[in-house]
Amino acid sequence: MSLCIRFVARNNDKPVIKEVFFDLCYLTRTTGVAIAAAIKESLKTHGVDIQKARGQAYDGAAAMSSDKACVAARIRDVAPMAVYTHCNSQILNPSIAVSCKLPEIRNMIDTMNSLFLFFNSSPKRQKFMEMVLDVESAQTRKQHIKGLCKTRWVERHTCFETFQEIYEYVCISLEAISWPHLHPELELVTPSDLTSEKWNWQRNRETTVKTQGFLASLQKPECIMAFVVVKNCLQLLRGMTTKLQKRDINIVSAYNMIDDTKKKITDLRANIGREHADWYNEAQQMAMKVGEDITMPRITTRNVYRANVACTSISDYYQVNYTAKFVDHLHREFGTRFSNDQQVGVKLLRILPSYICTQPWADLDQVIYDLALWEGDLSHPATLKNEIQDWFKLWSDCEATGRETLPTTLLDVLCQCDPGMSLPASIDF
């Protein structure tokens, strides 16, 4: 188990935040008891006082984050102020994954994953597709279908973009394998590693059967529309996905980024009709590249295996059963998993000058109540209310203080504190 530590250190007498690899612990078991014991032993061995810990972050596994027997609870038994925070980047993954479990979306993703394995597991098939790309499109630089990574969602963005770029040529490759006579220009191209023979797929019955199935799935209007909806929704999350994986991101930036993304999803849901019209046109263009059209499936009285809501037009059918459905799931998951109740550290943001100058003084009592958890860190806890009042007065009028900009991060606030205040000794590695 790898153990990282995040702390405040001095750099030229200025406080800086550092996050470094700390230790590699061997685990005999992966229970909450064993992991917590390994963490405490590692900190003790390196002379780090665990009672000075003010935060801990893990993934959402039961052994790490459950209420009673998990690692977080056992660490808080010895370090009560070590607030547990679920890694925001880890929360993002299930937020999207749950939405992608919709039958219409799941079928499309399963098809893409199976298609990736189909080409990636056979050098001959992969070489054939590369040859098709060289013959049919000299402009594209993409040569491979990328698999949908289950954990790194930034890789999924790349996968969708790559697949859309070579979608037409993937269909040509599948069609040429199943029915070579439809593409005689490809039959004339001799494989570079088989100079004495041409491409011959008819001997491999399994390959031809699979290609026909893949081609039928990829050309279905339902698959094309599901692909376009997911790709465009994930584009809203790309910046957040990438930046949340930065090791030096501060809590303010993370929460602001999450709030901005939640607002984008809310705005998307509010303007779903306008956005869907653009996505529907994009799906039509993809379908036209392979000689297909976006059509509406037959509506029956009862169907439990696919979307079956009756609509007056083709566009409305896909808006109700695909676009709105996926966006609603995404909006609900983000609202639940990234709620303020799940972000304990957000309470500290109430002391930021940028927050103080935009909120009424009536929130003063609430700020004092929220900061009570860290009361033990104060040299004189009884003066907390007076200290907060003085801090509010200092920043309530930016022009009176002679400062042009307000600190927007906790680190900036620390730099604005009394220069004579003492910071804990740095940790040397």
Q: Is residue 283 in a domain?
A: yes
243-255 mean pLDDT: 64
Beta bridge partners of 85: 57
HEC states along 125-159? HHHHHHHHHHHHCCCCCCCCCCCCCCCCHHHHHHH
Q: Give the pLDDT of residue 219.
A: 93
Last residue of a domain, one of 337, 372, 398: 337
Do 224 and 173 share a structural domain? yes
Say if pTM beats, i.e. exceeds, 0.85: no
Do 355 and 215 share a structural domain? no
pLDDT tens per residue, range 260-276: 888 888 999 999 999 99
Helix, strand, or coil (residue 57) = strand
Task: Give φ, ψ of 103 to 5 degrees.
Answer: -50, -45
Q: Is residue 400 in a domain?
A: yes
Q: Is residue 426 in a domain?
A: no
Q: Give the pLDDT of residue 221.
A: 93
Q: Is residue 422 in a domain?
A: no
Largest Cα–Cα separation, the chain:
90
Which residues form the domain of 173? 95-337
Q: Is residue 421 in a domain?
A: no
Do 395 and 321 share a structural domain? no
**pLDDT band at 217; cut points 50, 70, 90:** very high
Number of helices (H), then strands (E), belonging to the chain: the values are 19, 4
Do 133 and 211 share a structural domain? yes
Do 242 and 184 share a structural domain? yes
Distances (CA, A) of 58 to 93, 115, 257, 306, 393: 14, 34, 20, 37, 38
pLDDT at 183 exceeding the cut of 50: yes
Task: Find the helix packing angle between 153-178 and 272-289, rounded to 10°.
Answer: 30
Q: How many domains does the chain have?
A: 3
Count the helix, strand and coil residues of the chain and give each as a percent rounded to the nearest 5.
60, 5, 30
Do 241 and 318 share a structural domain? yes
pLDDT at 123 exceeding the cut of 80: yes
Q: Which of 68-82, 189-203, 331-345, 391-405 has the highest mean pLDDT?
A: 68-82
Last residue of a domain, one of 40, 57, 86: 86
Q: Give the pLDDT of residue 196.
A: 42
HEC states along 15-29? EEEEEEEEEECCCCC
321-338 mean pLDDT: 85
Do 358 and 279 share a structural domain? no
Structure tokens that stand for 315 in this block = 């566009």
Q: Is residue 342 in a domain?
A: no
Do 21 and 111 share a structural domain? no
Q: Which residues contact 89 (CB under 8 A, 6 or more apart)?
A: 241, 244, 245
Do 291 and 206 share a structural domain? yes
Last residue of a domain, one of 36, 65, 86: 86
Q: For residues 250 and 55, what is the distance between their CA atoms, to the nearest angstrom? A: 13
Q: Which residues contact 337 (CB under 8 A, 6 or more apart)?
A: 91, 94, 95
Q: Is residue 429 in a domain?
A: no
Q: For residues 41 and 46, what is the distance between their CA atoms, to the nearest angstrom? A: 9
Do 188 and 307 share a structural domain? yes
Do 323 and 206 share a structural domain? yes
Do 124 and 239 share a structural domain? yes
Residue bearing the bigger pLDDT, 331 or 62: 331
Q: Is residue 407 in a domain?
A: yes
DSSP annotation of 219: T
53-81 mean pLDDT: 83
